[in-house]
Amino acid sequence: MIFRQERAGKDGKPFIFYKFRTMRVDVEPFGSSPKTSDDPRLTRVGKFLREYSLDELPQLFNILKGDMSIIGPRPLYVSQMAEWDERQKKRLLVKPGLTGLAQISGRGQLTREEKLELDVKYVETAGFLTDIKIILATIAQVFGRKNIYEKRYSKTELTRGQAHKK
């Protein structure tokens, strides 16, 4: 089943983001979760999809539509834009991507601030060689199945900007 959600695109323009659903529909998607594949909210198929990052495949449709690119900062919630300082808002100067510098630099193990900083670094240093490096490192990350799981936060923490303080 395809999961649809509004995310912030280039210049902060909202777009509909697609993923394969990996969690059961009767659970709260936010809140603390195990940093392992033992998260009870995941379906059996969902666990497999996440292990190999296959849950992201529907975003190829977003790329074909022009909402996303292959490389760039991951698309975040529209509500999160209010939390960013002027430097962090630079991430909106490019289309969001299927993979990016933050994903090859620690993925789920990075703090929100570290991810935002890497997003800005990508915007400031983007180029052909950087993109090739990111693509090759992404392939290694996916097949190595490293740093997949991250801490999840409550919806209140996400909208209030409190999640990054934990």
pLDDT of residue 133: 96
Reading the block at residue 35, the tokens are: 């940093």
What token pair was written down for 20? 């394969």
Distances in whole angstroms, Cα of residue 135 to Cα of each of 70, 75, 110, 111, 132: 9, 17, 19, 22, 5
Is the whole-model pTM more than 0.75? yes
Q: What is the pLDDT of residues 19-51, one digit of tens each?
A: 998 888 777 666 655 555 577 888 889 888 888
Is 95 within 8 Å of 76 (Cβ atoms)? no
Cβ contact 95:69 at 8 Å: yes
Residue 64: count of CB within 10 angstroms of its CB: 9
Distance CA 151, CA 101 (A): 19
Q: Does residue 135 surpass a pLDDT of 80? A: yes
For residue 44, give the H/E element and its range: helix 44-51
Taking 70 as the threshold, does the pLDDT of residue 96 lie above it? yes
Could you tell me what percent of the chain has a pLDDT over 70?
A: 81
Q: Which residue has the tokens 């991250």?
A: 150
Question: What is the full DSSP assignment across 97-144?
Answer: EEE-HHHHTTGGGS-HHHHHHHHHHHHHH--HHHHHHHHHHHHHHHHH
